[in-house]
Amino acid sequence: MSERPKTAVTVVIAGQEYTLRADAPPEYVRACAAFLDQAIAQVTPRDAHLDPTRAAILAALSITDQLFKTRAEIDALRRQIARLAADLASAIEASLAAGDLAPRP
């Protein structure tokens, strides 16, 4: 299996230009950088000059919060799907055991 060659991609995050080398497609790297740039913009007041490190940390906390909430939602959906699948399997087994195989009109 061959590895994808690293590609240099130039992005702007919080007004600073960065050249990143990544295995991912350039469009993906740009989308990630844009997402981070937007997160930093959301935690930075328009009229205040927030230290860039502090802004990056606040943005990282916001993104981490989103990640944790999304993980919790995914776990809840997985549990719901597992319950529904078990209920469906039980209903099928009950129908088979009862010999209820005739098509319904």
Long-range contacts of 76-84 (CB under 8 A, 24+ apart): none
- Using the Cα atoms of residue 57, residue 62, residue 70 and residue 18 in order, give the sign of their dihedral: negative
Cα angle 33, 37, 42 (rounded to 5 degrees) comes to: 150
Residue 35 is predicted with a pLDDT of 97
Distance CA 38, CA 11 (A): 13
Residue range(s) defining the domain that contains residue 12: 7-97
DSSP 8-state code for residue 32: H
State the amino acid at position 35 in one-letter form: F
Residue 4 is predicted with a pLDDT of 73
- In a domain? residue 16: yes
Residue 105 is predicted with a pLDDT of 61
- In a domain? residue 11: yes
Q: What is the number of other CB atoms lying within 10 angstroms of the CB of residue 33? A: 17
- In a domain? residue 44: yes
Distance CA 67, CA 16 (A): 25
Under 8 Å between Cβ of 19 and 9: yes
- In a domain? residue 73: yes
Structural domains counted in the chain: 1
Residue 103 is predicted with a pLDDT of 62
- In a domain? residue 72: yes
Residues 44-103: tens digit of each pLDDT? 887 677 888 999 999 999 999 999 999 999 999 999 999 999 999 999 999 888 886 666
Residue 36 is predicted with a pLDDT of 97
